[in-house]
Chains A and B, each alone.
Chain A
Amino acid sequence: MSDLMNLTLKIWRQAGPADKGGFVTYEVSDISPDMSFLEMLDVLNEQLNAKGEEPIAFDSDCREGICGMCGLMISGHAHGPERTTTCQLHMRSFKDGQTITVEPWRANAFPVIKDLVVNRSAFDRIIQAGGYISANTGAAPDAHATPVPKDNADRAFMAAECIGCGACVAACPNASAMLFTASKVVHLGELPQGQPERDARVVAMVNQHDHEGFGGCTNIGECSTACPKGIPQDVISQLNFDLRTAMRHSR
């Protein structure tokens, strides 16, 4: 097992929301390249536990890249150097002896709860503002009752891939959540069921987005580069189009 790695980790530690926080440097040794990044942090936490120190808090849930819970800024890249989630990032993406800086998502709308854990409730409130459709209660309609053109269905599915991990906000130089908001707007706006609320949705969601303290989008494109699901910039154009349409409809 000659390919085991020794790494230096510079990790953000912050006891709570009110704490100022700062970087602490740790050494880890005998890390397998087949470990995920989170497993590597688990190893470090085992060591800290054994020494009676406070383990590093980080978010994770499914660890298979679909829940959007984990998310770390790793040496300046959201979710690390590969296009994937932090849980699906493997240590083979790093070199033996490397120093890795680990920071939480930085945005005022994502306050740090502890260490590397941030509060992404702002996303929930953006969804709550307009990321829904209204459906009548009663017997479920037949699945084929409303035809959806294949292209629209494909695009809706593409946008629906967004897992709300927050990497777009973390990578954006303006800390804007426009890619997230646009994914939701496009996901519902492409489908017939999303049409009745199309104008109201984009206006409510963008207003909530701004109210949460996210920055404005300047079309730089860092969000799409960081997005583990590869959601492209053109969804933001569609959001802009919907907003302009809503404006024309005196919303």
Chain B
Amino acid sequence: MPTTTLSPRGTTARSTTVALKLLMAVTGLIFVGYLLLHAYGNLKALQGEEAFNSYAEHLRTIGEPMLPYAGLLWIIRVVLILSIIGHAYAAYTLWSRADSARRVKYDAVKTVATAKWMRWGGTFLLVFIVWHLLNFTVPKISPNPHKQGPDILNNPYQLVVATFQVWWMVLIYVAAMVALFMHLKHGAYSAQQTLGWTSTPAAHARAKLVGWVLATVVVVGFLIPPLAIAFGLIGD
């Protein structure tokens, strides 16, 4: 069918959906880096209360005296906050765009599971992160009725143990890790694809493998301490 006119359109690389995806890829990779460090720190719990708490304290004194107390921690926090804003903005913009790109739905086509996991799973992770911060950062909430008070709340190790001695906290955490696994498996691959690192069949296959490995390493690392606490392998 011949067409004679071109429609008006954006004219820069920045005005494309691919630019939004690049924002998503870069912020996502920042989170992957953070998660690897976070999982490593959590595993310190296996070494006991002192190792865990001194690691937590070291996070605040690292870089002193060039940086003020908790200086590096705050730099990381600001970067993470900006990253999650950018990541969620790009995600929800593309989600709403996808919805309006197909207003009449198919009768016989099922939505692909990966798409659901990324969007609904990602939303669940966002809600989980809010609870996670309320739980362990600000204001610090112990969901354990037998373990309350400043001695618990101001002791990172004791707060973690108190939290994961509650069965439904373990369930919520495991559910979040399932969502995280699915998110990272596709997300880590997808970021490489969006950055244009997978332009040959071999590189493409490698990127998928990297997604699997990263997701497995992070999620297994995160699952070990809470499950160890839940099954009584480590405790107060």
Interface residues, chain A, CB within 8 Å of chain B?
A: 10, 23, 73, 75-76, 101, 103, 106-109, 119-121, 124-125, 128-129, 173-176, 202-204, 206-220, 222, 232-244, 246-247, 251
Chain B residues whose CB sits within 8 angstroms of the CB of A119 once the complex forms: 1
Knowing A173-B115, A234-B204 are in contact, say whether A215-B101 is a contact too (CB < 8 A): yes
Knowing A108-B102, A233-B193, A241-B196 are in contact, say whether A220-B114 is a contact too (CB < 8 A): yes
- Say whether A125 contacts B6, CB under 8 Å: yes
A109 CA / B199 CA spacing, docked (Å): 27
Contact-residue size bin, chain B (C-beta under 8 Å from the other chain) = 35 or more
- Say whether A237 contacts B193, CB under 8 Å: yes
- Write out, one digit per residue, whether chain B residues 137-178 have a CB within 8 A of any chain A CB (1) or not (0): 000000000000000000000000000000000000000000
- Say whether A242 contacts B196, CB under 8 Å: yes
- Say whether B98 faces chain A, with CB atoms less than 8 Å apart: yes
Interface residues, chain B, CB within 8 Å of chain A?
A: 1-3, 6-22, 94, 97-98, 100-112, 114-115, 118, 186, 189-190, 192-201, 203-204
- Say whether B3 contacts A121, CB under 8 Å: yes
- Say whether B1 contacts A207, CB under 8 Å: no
Chain B residues whose CB sits within 8 angstroms of the CB of A235 once the complex forms: 199
With beta carbons under 8 angstroms apart, the residue of B3, B10, B189, B196 that contacts A207 is: B10
Knowing A203-B13, A206-B16, A210-B16 are in contact, say whether A106-B104 is a contact too (CB < 8 A): yes
Chain B residues whose CB sits within 8 angstroms of the CB of A203 once the complex forms: 11-13, 16
- Say whether B204 contacts A210, CB under 8 Å: no
- Say whether B17 contacts A128, CB under 8 Å: no
Chain A residues whose CB sits within 8 angstroms of the CB of B204 once the complex forms: 232-234, 237
- Say whether A222 contacts B112, CB under 8 Å: yes
Q: What 5 new A-B contacts, CB under 8 Å, besides A210-B15, A237-B193, A237-B196?
A: A206-B13, A207-B9, A216-B18, A244-B13, A251-B12
